[in-house]
Amino acid sequence: MRNFGLILDIATTHLTSKIKQTIIAALGVMFGIGTYIIMMGFMTGLNQLLDGLILNRTPHIQIYNKTDPTQIQPIQRHQDFKFNWHHIHSIKPKSRLARIHDALPLLKDLKENKKVKGATPQTTCKVFYIAGANNLNGIINGIEVSEEMRLFNFKDYIVKGDPNSLRKRKNSILLGAGIAKKLSLSVGDKLQVLGTNGVSHPLNIGGIFQSGLAEIDDAQSYVNLKMAQQLLGVGSNYITRIHVKLHNIEHALGLSKTIENIFEVKALDINTANAQFDTGSYIRTLISYTVSITLLIVAGFGIYNILNMLIYEKMDDIAILKATGFSGNDILLIFIIQALIIGLFGGIFGLILGYSISIVIDNIPFITEALPTIKTYPINYDPFFYITGISFALICTFLAGFLPALKARKIDPVEIIRGK
Amino acid sequence: MSTVLKTININKYFYDPEKFHVLKNISIELKNGEFVSIMGKSGCGKSTLLYILSTMDTQYEGTLILDHENMSLLNNTNLAKIRNEKIGFIFQFHYLLPEFTVLKNVMLPALKLGRQSEEIIKKSAFEKLEMLGVASQANKKAYKISGGQKQRVSIARALINNPKIIMADEPTGNLDSKNADNVFNILRALSLEQKMSLLVVTHDLDFAKKTDRIIKMGDGIIL
Ligand SMILES: Nc1ncnc2c1ncn2[C@@H]1O[C@H](COP(=O)(O)OP(=O)(O)O)[C@@H](O)[C@H]1O
Ligand SMILES: [Mg+2]
């Protein structure tokens, strides 16, 4: 546009002559955008953290033995009663072992599957923890610790000691933090574990495990898979759970169905297991947008007011400009540019404000039992928020400036000149 | 001599507070290089006529021809272009943009026209200010200079695009007699030396007598 430099010059001269009001208007935008950046950075940071917790820790597919009643009961198979009403109540599942039938072939199959990143066997047994005069009941999981670390970030939950002690010494145990506290035990101490078969085993504490969930930390501990099988007095094919991690989480549902079809097991995929989880993320995002947009609307009204006032004060200028050959559209553009300048500066400073406060929050210590790997508040610095932030600022100020600018375009210079 | 401005049967009404026929069949003509004054008692419609002639007011009936072009056919954007290029307007009150420098005020219509580089426009604006004896004020903000100086600056602004015609609505009405004489002499000189066409509304008879021709107005009519 040929006149753009001139229009811009007039617009900025007006703004600088009313520098106080301009700054106040820009501050409104700044706080709107700043809040948006902080809210989004913090809320989605939290989302990612929780997502990470779930996704890193939770297997994409959990395989365990079926315990629900058989789908097709014997009476349904009987030809004689095919068209009769079946009056058998209170059907109970048949008694089954906790072990997965054919666990080793299944494990081998899974490890060969291209979609699978890894699969780990676990053997769970109920035990009593005994230290001195105290005892507690709980659960011990036998794991392949190096695979657990590779696939499920197991190391993050070992707050003291060394997870690799499970590999180095067969009778090492990673004790749940709650148990350790109750029995006042620490790394290096010894404790006895009494299996359900009545045999007790002396174990060395190689590390303390803390998941953040009290009911887990108060009951569960981890030992080597072989140790757990020994506690139960069973062979190496006795496996109660298989945890699968996929390369792509999207395949979880499909693969779990395939596994259930081929093997006599229950395969639970992560989406079904954590259905309620998405709702939390969604609500946090919604809150962030609601608060930010509310602030921007308030800032928008501020701009609207200030431009209206500016136009009222610059009535004479508008009349002169029109009398000397500026068109209505030139005038419109002058005021829209003023709005956009306020939006641009307010927006840029809003981004800076948001970024600075995000850094501050990012460095505030955030120590919680529930999240042992987290040391400070989580912040997401996704550039997407900064781009939407500045776009928001420009769109809002444009809308706020548009009505006053339309009014300025319509001003009749004759009325102003005659009015003197 | 060719005609620079011509009206045929211009009529205008005001509807507020009640219907009022303010201009009745106004037909006037201005030759190229003529210095014409319009006189008449207060409230007879001189300003109203001048606003129509300057194309700022488009609510009228009749024909307005400026530099051989029928203004009644143009839209607002094109009328703004005509005002920018062909008409220099001097108001009774010194209408300048207060926050801009004196020099920038003079330059603005030329910058809007965009025919010359900013450097050349700056130079010619400065020359106009020199001609009107206010060059020393060039870099002051417009609100900082005196009333007489403002009026001379607005004359410089009216001249910047070398318009076909200069229109002025009581340009001396707000000035003391010394400044009024000064302004008159400037306008006179423009007419004589630069063959500028001028149409000046005034109620100062001494002023009017010194122009080439006087158009006398009664209530909404040419006498
Ligand atoms: N906007 C308007 N609405 C109604 N009447 C008006 C308006 N402007 C001017 N008038 C009336 O029109 C007449 C002519 O006004 P004007 O052209 O300003 O007179 P002059 O400039 O000759 O003193 C006056 O009677 C004035 O009151
Ligand atoms: Mg008048």
B79 vs B56: CA distance, rounded Å: 8
Residues paired with A143 in a beta bridge = A224
A122 vs A206: CA distance, rounded Å: 19
Q: Is the CB of B202 under 6 A from ligand 1?
A: no
- In a mutational test of the B interface, the residue from A324, A334, A338, A411 whose CB has the highest number of chain B CBs within 10 Å is A324
The alpha carbon of B109 is separated from its chain's Cα centroid by a whole number of angstroms, namely 14
Which ipTM did the prediction report? 0.92
Span from the CA of A283 to the centroid of ligand 1 (angstroms): 64
Distance from the B31 Cα atom to the nearest Cα atom in chain A, whole angstroms: 23
Q: Please, what's the b/e burial string for A56-74 (b: 16 or more CB within 10 A of its CB; e: otherwise)? A: eebbbbbbbbbeeeeeeee
Contact flag B157-A328 (C-beta cutoff 8 Å): no
**Is residue A399 within 8 Å of A299, Cβ to Cβ?**
no
Contact flag B84-A324 (C-beta cutoff 8 Å): yes
Q: Is A324 among the domain residues?
A: yes
Which residue in A has a C-alpha nearest to residue B55's C-alpha? A323
Distance from the B87 Cα atom to the nearest Cα atom in chain A, whole angstroms: 8
Q: Is A179 among the domain residues?
A: yes
Contact flag B83-A323 (C-beta cutoff 8 Å): yes
Using most ligand atoms within 8 A of CB, pick from B47, B91, B167, B174 the residue to mutate for ligand 1.
B47
| Residue whose token pair is 């600022």 | A393
Phi-psi region of B40 (alpha: psi -120 to 50; beta: other; left: phi over 0): left
Q: What pLDDT is recorded for position A95?
A: 65
* pLDDT higher than 60, residue A1: no
A221 vs B131: CA distance, rounded Å: 98
- State both tokens at A168: 């180095």
Determine the structural domain holding residue A236 and report its residue range: 94-243
| Residue whose token pair is 């406060």 | A357
Q: What pLDDT is recorded for position A275?
A: 67
The arithmetic mean of pLDDT across residues A353-365, rounded, is 91
Q: Is the CB of B46 under 6 A from ligand 1?
A: yes
Domain count across chain A? 2
Closest to A414 (Cβ–Cβ): which among B51, B93, B96? Answer: B51
Contact flag A316-B113 (C-beta cutoff 8 Å): no
Residues of chain B in contact with residue A13, where contact means CB-CB under 8 angstroms, are: 97, 99-100
Residues of chain B in contact with residue A317, where contact means CB-CB under 8 angstroms, are: 97-98
* Co-location of A142 and A205 in the same domain: yes
Which residue in A has a C-alpha nearest to residue B98's C-alpha? A317
* pLDDT higher than 90, residue B104: yes
Single-letter amino acid, residue A196: T
Going by pLDDT thresholds of 50, 70 and 90, the confidence category of residue B141 is very high
Contact flag B112-A326 (C-beta cutoff 8 Å): yes
Q: Which residues contact B22 (CB under 8 A, 6 or more apart)?
A: B12, B13, B14, B45, B48, B220
Other C-beta atoms closer than 10 Å to the C-beta of B33 total 16
Whole-number mean pLDDT of chain B?
89
Of A200, A224, A243, the domain-final residue: A243
For B196-218, write each residue's pLDDT tens digit. 899 999 888 888 888 889 999 98
pTM of the model: 0.74
Which residue in B has a C-alpha nearest to residue A319's C-alpha? B95
- State both tokens at A296: 């921007």
Q: Is A19 exposed, middle or buried (0-12, 13-18, 19+ CB in 10 A)?
A: exposed
Q: Is A384 among the domain residues?
A: yes
* Co-location of A153 and A217 in the same domain: yes
The arithmetic mean of pLDDT across residues A140-153, rounded, is 88
Q: Is A102 among the domain residues?
A: yes
Ligand 1 atom with the smallest distance to the CA of B42 is 23
* Co-location of A197 and A102 in the same domain: yes
Which residue in A has a C-alpha nearest to residue B52's C-alpha? A414
* Co-location of A237 and A118 in the same domain: yes
Q: Is the CB of B18 under 6 A from ligand 1?
A: no
* Co-location of A199 and A310 in the same domain: no
Dihedral of alpha carbons A345, A349, A350, A351, sign = positive
* Co-location of A98 and A239 in the same domain: yes
Closest to A325 (Cβ–Cβ): which among B80, B91, B92? Answer: B80
| Residue whose token pair is 């989605």 | A44
* Co-location of A182 and A294 in the same domain: no
Q: What pLDDT is recorded for position A130?
A: 87
Rounded alpha-carbon distances, angstroms, from residue B130 to A346, B89, B126:
43, 19, 6
Contact flag B112-A317 (C-beta cutoff 8 Å): no
Q: Is A216 exposed, middle or buried (0-12, 13-18, 19+ CB in 10 A)?
A: middle
A34 vs A22: CA distance, rounded Å: 18
- State both tokens at B54: 């300057």
Ligand 1 atom with the smallest distance to the CA of B50 is 17
Of A227, A243, A259, the domain-final residue: A243
A210 vs A94: CA distance, rounded Å: 36
The alpha carbon of A1 is separated from its chain's Cα centroid by a whole number of angstroms, namely 47
For A179-217, write each residue's pLDDT tens digit. 988 888 889 888 888 887 788 888 999 999 988 778 888
- State both tokens at A73: 């009961």
Q: What pLDDT is recorded for position A4?
A: 87
* pLDDT higher than 80, residue A72: no
Q: Is A76 among the domain residues?
A: no
Q: Which residues contact B112 (CB under 8 A, 6 or more apart)?
A: A3, A6, A324, A325, A326, A330, B84
* Co-location of A98 and A234 in the same domain: yes
Distance from the B193 Cα atom to the nearest Cα atom in chain A, whole angstroms: 24
Which residues of B, range 131-160, sit inside 8 Å of A by Cβ? 157
Least confident of A97-106, A177-186, B51-60: A97-106
Contact flag B51-A326 (C-beta cutoff 8 Å): no
3-state helix vs strand vs coil in chain A, percent to 5: 55, 20, 25
- Higher-confidence position of A43 and B174: A43
Q: Where are the domains of chain B?
A: 33-58+81-222
**Does any CB of chain A come closer than 8 Å to the CB of residue B184?**
no
**Is residue A411 within 8 Å of A342, Cβ to Cβ?**
no
Does the domain at B33-58+81-222 match CATH 3.40.50.300? Answer given as yes
Least confident of A48-52, A166-170, A376-380, B187-191: A48-52
For A258-301, write each residue's pLDDT tens digit. 888 888 888 888 877 776 666 777 787 788 788 878 877 877 78
* pLDDT higher than 60, residue B154: yes
Q: Is A66 among the domain residues?
A: no
- Tally of CA atoms within 13 A in the half-sphere of A251 that contains its CB: 13
The arithmetic mean of pLDDT across residues B82-108, rounded, is 89
Residues of chain B in contact with residue A2, where contact means CB-CB under 8 angstroms, are: 114
Distance from the B214 Cα atom to the nearest Cα atom in chain A, whole angstroms: 23
* Co-location of A369 and A302 in the same domain: yes
- Higher-confidence position of A50 and A253: A253
Query: In angstroms, how far apart are the furthest CA atoms of chain B?
Result: 51
Q: Is the CB of B42 under 6 A from ligand 1?
A: yes
Of A198, A219, A243, the domain-final residue: A243
**Does any CB of chain A come closer than 8 Å to the CB of residue B100?**
yes
B146 vs B148: CA distance, rounded Å: 6
Closest residue by CA, ligand 1 atom 24? B43
For A390-419, write each residue's pLDDT tens digit. 998 898 889 888 988 998 899 888 888 887
Residues paired with A197 in a beta bridge = none
